[in-house]
Chains A and B, each alone.
Chain A
């Protein structure tokens, strides 16, 4: 009380002024709360609707509102079972090409960024410009050349002549999966390079010079100095590339075609397949969407802390 009096005297407000200020502050609070709740409802309701739908029977879905939770006799795991049956083989396919493509694009991007930021040579700027341009290349624009390219390159023939298919773990679906690995690695290098380069430019260049004076060559500097310092950036690029490649639809559609798991179809294509058909079954689709999202959720939970913390060595 004494404090408010002092403040009032110091600032020269009277009681009415002060009350008005309090009211203003309160009004701000109310508006902020309403906005927050509204936005939260806006964002969460589809998710909630998805979850309720995935656990409902088909008849319950038709007879209830999407956001109302199912009653005890309306609950079923049937939709999950159907979705899992359709998606699980392709889920495996997705991981088979996503993880290698994620690793390759990150490692190659890190190499390229090292060469473009830590080593001096002619033509660097031109090459970096090419990398940056590649990031902005619209996907739709390269679909046709991409499919023509893979039509021309007979990967299956190459693999056969190398004797790949006589290996114990080999499978016909691998041809398409390798095509996807190469395509996604190549397409991901540019953004990975940009991310790594930005990070490498923040590393104190004296460290690199100290290593040179200590007798390390270009490769040893990368292996012993730059690579260990890149660990946080690798986490960032891994998360980013994993979600990009795993969620990708267009390349897979063009390069693999249908949703046949034995042809190497990824989960995104199979999920789309759940959508089509004569009668739309929303319960299955919702369950399928959640199953498809699980790997990315795991990646975010596993590496998310590093991702949010940002990059520091």
Chain B
């Protein structure tokens, strides 16, 4: 149990004569007992960051501290971290019990009786007592996953490191394991860094999400913060499914012009944009209001291109009638609403729900008004 500090951590790889920066000046603080998910597309540096904590990669610049004491340059053995690999990395020639005992034998001086007792305990916690004497090859993917988890838990480490541990499971099992992992982590209270490329896992499991792209930290915050107040276009687009709609606009005072339509901003909103003229308007599909026909000034006449029914809701791909840009805006409507492809409807972006980003830097200039405050306690 410990807190963990990334202090301007940089990792560079040599590739022949050129240098590749995998992680650039990553600074963040992970609190004791926190479940932090690092999320990002492949090659964003998330796994490298995790491996630096494990001691499997060296740190080029900066410092990493557990409980304030630097672990830079220390071997993995000296770090008391446990890791769950995407491939599970179980020792194929050892039984499940031996797999789980190995770390205890190597890194502690517990007697074999104590080790046996601890492995049995964890076997019960994970509900795998009947698997203990079997070999990894005889286990299903889900069971192997549990063993890999057990091997990490049994060591009672300072930090859990998880590298896409659920990505080899089928969808149903993955959803089950997601909840179970969360429950376990809460029970054990061990600081956890979990790396994934799946934003659903990031949203559902984490206390806080760290979003990385191109070796740089884009945002770190609670799932709600990242969802409702993304720092930039990348975060806005990465978090949320289906992803946020982005529309390129040029701004003249209070008017945002796109190829297809104009959007009038209120005076107060326009003030927030200061002098920026190249603007990207972002709106989440669930905030797009679909009306039978355009009635208000900012409404746009659109044609329904594709309908994706999900049961509880339908995703509509809406293309402006003028068809200048031919880019679809995704809008979500109630699943019981009957809309057919080819219908002509009206599309409305309520101003309180729009995100505005600087078109050049991608940085958020304006978040939706008071969306976070709209989250109200359900009980009490």
Which residues from A are CB-within-8-Å of B55?
A: 212-213
A21 to B280, CA, bound (A): 71
Partner of B56, one of A207, A212, A215, A313: A212
B87 and A204 within 8 A (CB): yes
Total number of residue pairs linking A and B with CB closer than 8 Å:
64
A216 to B107, CA, bound (A): 7
Given A206-B85, A220-B106, A224-B102, decide whether A213 and B91 contact each other with a Cβ distance below 8 A.
Answer: no
Chain A residues with Cβ below 8 Å from B81 are 213
Interchain CA distance A214-B75 in the complex, whole Å: 11
B76: Cβ under 8 A from any A Cβ: yes
Nearest neighbor of A216 in chain B, beta-carbon distance? B106
Contact A207 B106, beta carbon cutoff 8 Å: no
Quick check: B106 and A210 within 8 Å, CB to CB?
A: no
CB distance from B199 to the nearest CB of A (A): 25
Is A211 an interface residue when CB atoms closer than 8 A count as contact? yes
Q: Which residues of A contact B92 (CB under 8 A)?
A: 207, 229, 313
- A14–chain B nearest beta-carbon distance, Å: 53
Q: What's the minimum C-beta distance from A232 to chain B, rounded to whole angstroms?
A: 11
B38 within 8 A of A: no
Query: A206 and B76: CB pair below 8 A?
Result: no
Whether B93 pairs with A210 at a CB distance below 8 angstroms is no
**A206:B106 contact, CB within 8 angstroms:** no
Instruction: Identify A215's interface contact among B86, B87, B103, CB under 8 A.
Output: B103
Question: Could you tell me the distance in whole angstroms from the C-beta of B135 to the nearest C-beta in chain A?
Answer: 11
Q: Chain A residues with Cβ under 8 A from B102's Cβ?
A: 211, 214, 216, 224
User: In residues 178-236 of chain A, which contact B (Cβ within 8 Å)?
Assistant: 204, 206-207, 209-217, 220, 224-225, 228-229
Mask of B82-109 contacts with A, CB within 8 angstroms, 1/0: 1101111111110000000011001100
Determine which residue in A207, A210, A229 has the highest number of CB atoms from chain B within 10 A of its CB, and name it.
A210
Contact flags B128-172 to A (C-beta < 8 A → 1, else 0): 000000000000000000000001000100000000000000000
Which residues of chain B have C-beta atoms less than 8 A from A228's C-beta? 93
CA distance in complex: A212, B54 (Å): 9
Are B87 and A212 closer than 8 Å at their CB atoms?
A: no
Q: Are B107 and A206 in contact (CB under 8 A)?
A: no
Quick one: closest A residue to B78, CB to CB?
A: A215
Chain B residue with Cβ nearest A215: B107
Q: Which residues of B contact A209 (CB under 8 A)?
A: 54, 56, 76, 83, 85, 89
Would B107 and A210 count as touching, CB distance under 8 A? no
Q: How far is the CA of A49 from the CA of B377 in the complex (A)?
A: 96
State whether the Cβ of B326 lies closer than 8 Å to any Cβ in chain A.
Answer: no
Given contacts A207-B91, A313-B93, contact A217 B77 (CB under 8 A): yes
| A225 neighbours in B (Cβ, 8 Å) | 91
Closest to B108 in A: A215
How far does the alpha carbon of A313 sit from the alpha carbon of B137 in the complex, in Å?
10
220-258 of chain A: CB within 8 A of chain B? 220, 224-225, 228-229
Q: Whole-angstrom distance between the alpha carbons of A207 and B89 in the complex?
A: 5
- Do the beta carbons of B87 and A211 come within 8 Å of each other? no
Which residues of chain A are within 8 angstroms of B90 by Cβ–Cβ distance?
A: 207, 210
Complex-state Cα separation, A67 to B191, whole angstroms: 81
Q: How far is the CA of A211 from the CA of B102 in the complex (A)?
A: 8
Contact partners of B83 in chain A: CB under 8 A? 209-210, 213
| A138–B78 alpha-carbon span in the complex (Å) | 48
Cross-chain contact B107 with A214 (CB below 8 angstroms): yes
With A212-B75, A214-B155 known, 6 other A-B pairs at CB within 8 A are A210-B89, A210-B91, A213-B103, A216-B102, A224-B102, A229-B92
Q: List 6 A-B contacts (CB under 8 A).
A: A209-B83, A213-B76, A213-B81, A213-B82, A215-B76, A215-B107
A-to-B contact residues, CB < 8 Å: 204, 206-207, 209-217, 220, 224-225, 228-229, 313
CB-based closest 5 A-B pairs: A215-B107, A214-B103, A206-B89, A215-B106, A210-B89
